[in-house]
Amino acid sequence: MITNNITEHRHCLECGEKIVGRVDKKFCSDQCRNTYNNKLNSDANNTVRNINNVLRKNRRILAELSGQLEKAMVSKETLLSKGFNLTYHTHTYTTKKGDTYRFCYEQGYLFLEDKNLYLLVTHKEKGYETV
């Protein structure tokens, strides 16, 4: 039996400690592996988290302003004063007439140029009945 007397010293990618165990092991512990991967993904996670926070805030504002009504009308100033961000929405829906509603999850809005107001609607489970 031939043995290789040369031992390769491997070090943890996170803390630099010597690694003992499998040849393909990169970290000395689960904690180091988790810490390393959390640092690696933190930028992407922060971006996604920040966008989701804006979307949830937009949804809350739309729900608060529409209340229990199927449809409600509000001014742009009212939306913006509550902190609504017009840049972010989850999806759009275009009607046969060509009107494009923007939605933050189930809460939607349509800008009515002729009235200079926003029409607020809520997506119904079986379709866009309010649209």
Asked, for residue 15, whether it belongs to a domain, the answer is no
Q: Is residue 3 part of a domain?
A: no
Classify residue 79 by its DSSP letter: H
| Alpha carbon distance 37, 73 (integer Å) | 46
Say what the pTM is: 0.67
For residue 99, tell me if it sits in a domain. Answer: yes
Looking only at the bridges linking them, the beta strands covering 117-122 and 71-74 are antiparallel
pLDDT 10s digits, 82-120 = 999 999 999 999 999 999 999 999 999 999 999 999 999
Examine residue 93 and state whether it is found in any structural domain, yes or no. yes
Torsion of CA 73, 57, 125, 108, to 10 degrees: 30
Q: Does 94 map to a domain?
A: yes
Domain of 91 in residue numbering reads as: 30-122
Q: How many domains does the chain have?
A: 1
Residue 46: predicted pLDDT: 85
Judge whether 1 lies within some domain: no
Q: Is residue 130 part of a domain?
A: no
